[in-house]
Amino acid sequence: MYQPIVMQVSVITVTFDYTATDSSGAENAISESKTVTLEITGTNDQPIVENIAANENGDDIVEVVGLNALDNTLYSGYYLSTVQQTFIATEDSLSNIELEVYAIGYSNGYYDGTFQVQVLDAQGNEISLSSPINSGDTEITGNTHGVPSGIISIDLDASLDIESTYTINFIVLSGNPLIVSRVAENSSDGLGIVYNNNSLQDYSDLAIKLTYETGGLVVFETGNETNTTFVETLDTVSDLDTTDTHTYQVVADSVEINGVSASNDLVSIDYIDDGEGSGHWEYKVEGDFNYLSEGEIARVTFDYTATDDSGTSNAVSEAKTITLNITGTNDQPIVEDINANILPVAV
């Protein structure tokens, strides 16, 4: 492919010789050669940058945990045939569910059984159905309600709509398998166990853990009283003027969180000296995102440009946008030491 080599304020001279030939066939049918000369003066080519979706991570699969009640406080237990679990999708591809069954092998296997896990949308349509699983084959790893218990891991392939509500249903094929229930972390979110298809128990969840697959990098807010920091290399500029050097800049007043203007101080672009005369550019998002509730997403966007060293009117690229999604986590509550023996001063 042809690559332009003309640089700004440079002049190159192209020359070639040519002749003319008549139809006589004589010795002097060809003219003496003459020269064509063309001078080409270079101009500056505007640099080009690209939009960046910081959470995209190529073809790498990142596992994201959604609802996870396996370690919550023990509440009760149910026959699988009598319960369902509602949840809100936080990613678009549910790949695995773990659930805690109990009474494994107990009472001559009366409480063992074969079942399938079914994912239903809000209209009751089947989104995914697992292969049959026998609870009696579960490895015993604990003791729940005084009888042997263990965790079953079941692969799923459910394509979901983020922030939509779904129901996990169990189709019992044989036996009487039991599942553990635990106290819900949030007893007022309208989600939880559905008993006998019509009674929502918002205060409890089945002992399950949902794992999603995503092709993107999930950036979680850091935690109590700590700023969240995300840093990534910036190397998107392209320029037909191959000898140009470039700098990057944040476009002033372009920073937004979920479409609302935010402080310019939230983002920065810096040159990092790697030593020995080399270095690279990085962009950084750093701020307090502790206000996010678990699973809530803050979409940070800002515009940036690249500038070449030509000093010409088109030295600055058109602006493009960098987007970063930051996902909230549950922050541990904080209390303070109290000295109850200190009395108020009498006035």
Average pLDDT across the chain, whole number: 87
Query: For residue 8, is pLDDT > 70?
Result: no
Polymer length of the chain? 347
Average pLDDT over residues 315-322: 94
What's phi and psi for 135, nearest 5 deg?
-65, -25
Say what the pTM is: 0.50
Give pLDDT tens digits for 203-239. 999 999 999 876 667 677 776 567 888 998 999 898 8
Read off the pLDDT of residues 72-112 as tens digits, 9 standing for 90 and up: 999 999 999 999 999 999 888 899 999 999 999 999 999 99
Please report where in the chains the tokens 């074969």 appear, as a residue: 114
Cα gap 155→119, rounded to integer Å: 12
Instruction: Return the number of other C-beta atoms located less than 10 Å from residue 111's C-beta.
Output: 23
Whether the predicted pLDDT of 121 surpasses 90: yes
Q: How many CB atoms lie within 10 A of CB 36?
A: 9
Q: Where does the pLDDT of residue 164 fall: very low under 50, low under 70, confident under 90, or very high at 90 and above?
A: very high
- The b-or-e profile of 18-32 (16+ CB within 10 A means b, else e) is eeeeeeeeeeeeeee
Question: Alpha-carbon distance 112 to 24, whole Å?
Answer: 105
Give the chain's domains with CATH numbers: 52-56+217-327 (2.60.40), 62-214 (2.60.120)
Task: Give me 291's structure tokens.
Answer: 């206000």
Say which residue the tokens 């169990």 belong to: 170
Please tell me the distance from the alpha carbon of residue 49 to that of residue 237, in angstroms, as a whole number: 5
Rounded mean pLDDT of 171-195?
A: 93
3-class SS at 266?
helix
pLDDT value, residue 341: 66
- Band (pLDDT 50/70/90 cuts) for residue 155 is very high
Q: Which residue has the tokens 């959470």?
A: 55
Average of per-residue pLDDT across 63-80: 90
pLDDT score at 110: 95
What is the distance between the alpha carbons of residues 136 and 152, in angstroms, rounded to a whole number?
Answer: 10
Whether residue 175 is predicted with pLDDT greater than 90 in this model: the reply is yes
Q: Does 319 score more than 60 pLDDT?
A: yes
Q: Looking at residue 343, what is its pLDDT?
A: 53
Q: Which residues contact 63 (CB under 8 A, 6 or more apart)?
A: 95, 211, 212, 213
Task: Determine contact, residues 208/67, Cβ cutoff 8 Å.
Answer: yes
Q: What is the pLDDT of residues 231-248, one digit of tens each?
A: 989 998 988 877 888 999
Q: Which helix (H) or strand (E) holds 117?
A: strand 113-120
Helical residues (DSSP H) of the chain, grouped into ranges: none
**Residue 24 Cα distances to 21, 29, 30, angstroms:** 9, 6, 10
Task: Give the per-residue pLDDT at 12.
Answer: 82
Whether the CB-CB separation of 132 and 115 falls below 8 Å is answered with yes
Highest mean pLDDT among 38-47, 94-103, 193-202: 94-103
Of 139-143, 185-189, 320-324, the one with minimum mean pLDDT is 185-189
Q: Please report the pLDDT score of residue 338 as a whole number.
A: 65
Higher pLDDT, 326 or 114: 114
